[in-house]
Each structure stands twice: as C-alpha cells, then as structure tokens.
Amino acid sequence: MFKANPEIKQKVDEIQQDPDTVNWCITIGSENAKINYQKHLAEYLIYRNLTIQDLVSNFKKDENDEIKNVQSFANQMLKRLAPGTVANYVAAIKSRMHYDGIPFTRSIKIKNRTHHPTVENEVVPTKDQILSFLRNGKHATQIIISLIAFVGFRFTVIADLRIKDLPEMRITEDGKVIFEKIPTIIKVRKELSKNGKAYQTFLIETGCAVIKNSLEIRMQKGEKLNSESLLVPTECENTTVRQRAKAVSRRLNTVFEKIDYTSRPYSLKNFFATALLNSGLEQNLQTFFMGHTGPVQNVYSVQRQQPEDQIEKMRTAFKEKISPHLVPQGGNADVEVKKGFKKFAESLGLSIKDDASTDDTIEEIAVVYKSAMDDLSRRENVPKLTQKRISVEDLDEYLETGWEYQDKLPNGDLIVKQVIA
C-alpha cells in the first residue's frame, strides 16, 4: 500500500485485522487521509506499545489518562515534525476513537499549530525559473512541470491523467499530435479531484507543445498510444495512483536537485495561483480553475456540462487574462540561438519566417540535410569511371587488363576507360 519503515508497516497490517478499524477506514473520505491516518495511528500504538483493542479499552477505562499520553506523544513528535503535521497525528487518533463513540473531552495543545516555516520561507518561482525547469527536465518531466505551473494540478491528478482527458487533442495515423484548439481543455475526472467533483480547465500553448513533443517521441520509439494511455508513464511496478504520484514527484525533485532549487515542488502550483491572482478574473472563476470548491453558483454554472459558447468564453478568459502571466520568455541566449539557426537556414537557401520557432527552423534544416544525405548515398552507389591517356603501343596491354578504348586525340594518343563498381 505504501512505503514505510518495517515496524510501522507491520503495525498497520496488524490494525487492519481489526474489523472496527477496517470499517473506520471506509468512513474516511480522502484516499490520502485514509492511508496517512492508519500510519499515524500505528505510530502512536508503537509509542505506547499497545494493540488497537488495548487503546480503545484504555480510553473507555480512563479517557483523561490516555489523553495525557496523547499529549506526551505530540510533544515528542514536535521535536522533529512541523506543528501542522503533528496535528494530523492527533486527528487520526481522535478520528479512530470517535468511531467507537469516544469523544476527546480535553484538547491536545500544539503550539504554533498553523506555523509552516518551510512554506513561509518559500518563494514563488519566476518565469525564467520555470523555463530553466523545462530545459533541465526530460520529456515526461516537462509535462509534469507544465501541468503544475500552467494548470495547478496536484501529483495525484498528473499520475492518472490520460489521453482521453484532453478531448481537443488527436493523434494522426502517421504519429502526429494535433491540438484542435489552444488553450486546450483538460478534464479532471471526479475520482482525481480533491473535492470529489469533476471539473475542466485549460492548458496554454507552451504546455501543449511539451505534451505534443513527448507523445510523438514515445510513438517514434514504437509505443502504441490509445485513449487510456497515461500522459506521464512511470516505471514503478505498482499501479495505484498514489504510488505513481510518488514516482511523478521524484522526477520533479530530480530536476530541482540538478539546478539547486530548494523550494518545494508545490511552489510551481503557487506560480499558477499567483497568475490567477494577477489575472483580474472574478474569484468564482479563479477558484474553479484551481479545482477548489467555491461558492454555490459554481454548482449551477461552471461545474455543470457547459454549452459551447460558455466554454469558449472561459477559454478566451483563460487565454487573455491568465496566459500572459504564465508564458515563460526565453532570455537573450535563446534569441541568439534562434538567430543563429535562422542564419544557417538562409545560407542553405531556405526562407524562414520571422515568427518561426527554433524547432520549426531546425526541422526545415533537417529536411534539407536528409535530402542531401540521400543524394550523396545515391551518388556513392553509382559506378566510378576512370580514364587514362595512353600511346597506341600500350593499347593491347590495357585492353588485356580490362580497360576499354574510348577515343583518339588529335596528336594520335588514345583515351581508355575503366569502370569500377
């Protein structure tokens, strides 16, 4: 189910044998909370050297005494974990006890419960940094970066996003990826949404180009893609969304380590949230594009199946109001590289448009290069002709060794030829 140290895993396996605990887990709505609450509860049982049945019995026998032990546990955990994280441990214990009808009559004191030093010291990345992330990531990692920075997706959404979730993208028979409309729609299925409600959002052109490039490379390598194919395949043996999400996050951490970027991966989500904040869009749409539960009018407007004209209004709003705050701009180095490729292409006799991308220019150069190599190959396969000027007296000797008479010069000398395959 999850990776943990062997002692915690063994304790989780133990408590899962308890029917009441199994039924309690079913009542937990969030998949993440369901997994984490079991782990947190297991750690407390290990701390107290109890079984789950012992814990329930202790609370029923002397609730006040056991709450003191929970407070002691929380104090120990605060030495190595953030207050907000410790609060989740306490919440797990309280939730399990509430299932057995045991309310906590005393609160557990956690100082600075809402204090998150890592988050408070975090800086929202700039457009240049987003561009640096993209440059240093592999093709699949570039999709991860794009879907967080340009759409605000969580890892669990990315881990199970499939080709079918981009309804305006199609794949041609010759292995080309085409987006019918940009920004393109991405549909988030309800089972992937944090609030359990399906919604749709849009992806800007830069993100579309990243997906196009990655999928086409996969097809060139022989992979057969269909509507159920994952946008970001992982190599992990396990196939749960949560495990794939961990594999996805590790790919992003690899890029961050490579360029010595110290903020959390979710700082990219903050990049998207900041773009929404600066967009000037009404709060209702900002909330919707983040995939959050918003005002009641969301239920009757953006969360229902939209008519075509409403979808286009939302697309236009995304393109005009949000996209300008997301699109990463290349620096001077990129401009110079683009100029260099254009100049080289023009030296080959190609006419390159001013607004042509570097990738398009390189593609045109590649066509010329391939054509030249094909022509060279054909020439190499043509038999080579060798000619010699000889005197009449030497003709018999040359004819005997495979040479052929070709012509006679005005001074009487002869021209012989030899064909070499």
Residues 135 and 202 in one domain: yes
Would 63 be classed as within a structural domain? yes
At which of 64, 87, 119 does a domain end? 119
Specify the pLDDT at position 302: 47
Q: Read off the pLDDT of each residue in 324-348 and give the average, rounded to a whole number.
A: 63
Residues 269 and 134 in one domain: yes
Domain range spanning residue 361? 332-380
Would 175 be classed as within a structural domain? yes
Residues 52 and 87 in one domain: yes
Residues 220 and 148 in one domain: yes
State the CATH number of the domain containing residue 224: 1.10.443.10
* Entry pTM: 0.56
Would 1 be classed as within a structural domain? no
Is the model's pLDDT at 331 over the cut of 50?
Answer: no
Residues 225 and 296 in one domain: yes
Residues 148 and 274 in one domain: yes
Task: Pick the more confident residue, 306 or 186.
Answer: 186
Question: How many independent structural domains does the chain possess?
Answer: 4
At which of 65, 92, 119 does a domain end? 119
Residues 225 and 347 in one domain: no
Per-residue pLDDT reduced to its tens digit, 49-97: 999 999 999 999 998 899 999 999 999 988 888 788 888 899 999 999 9
SS (H, E, C) the chain: CCCCCHHHHHHHHHHCCCHHHHHHHHHCCCHHHHHHHHHHHHHHHHHHCCCHHHHHHHHHHCHHHHHHHHHHHHHHHCCCCCHHHHHHHHHHHHHHHHHCCCCCCCCCCCCCCCCCHHHHCCCCCCHHHHHHHHHHCCHHHHHHHHHHHCCCCCHHHHHCCEHHHCCCEEECCCCCEEECCCCEEEEECCCCCCCCCCEEEEECHHHHHHHHHHHHHHHHCCCCCCCCCECCCCCCCCCCHHHHHHHHHHHHHHHHHHCCCCCCCCHHHHHHHHHHHHHCCCHHHHHHHCCCCCCCHHHHCCCCCCCHHHHHHHHHHHHHHHHHHCCCCCCHHHHHHHHHHHHHHHHCCCCCCCCCCHHHHHHHHHHHHHHHHHHHHHHHCCCEEEEEEECHHHHHHHHHCCCEEEEECCCCCEEEEEEEC
Residues 307 and 160 in one domain: yes
Would 35 be classed as within a structural domain? yes
Residues 47 and 146 in one domain: no
Residues 165 and 242 in one domain: yes
Residues 134 and 106 in one domain: no
At which of 100, 119, 138 does a domain end? 119
Residues 315 and 364 in one domain: no
Task: Pick the more confident residue, 70 or 338.
Answer: 70
Would 221 be classed as within a structural domain? yes
Q: Read off the pLDDT of each residue in 316-343 and give the average, rounded to a whole number.
A: 68
Specify the pLDDT at position 312: 83
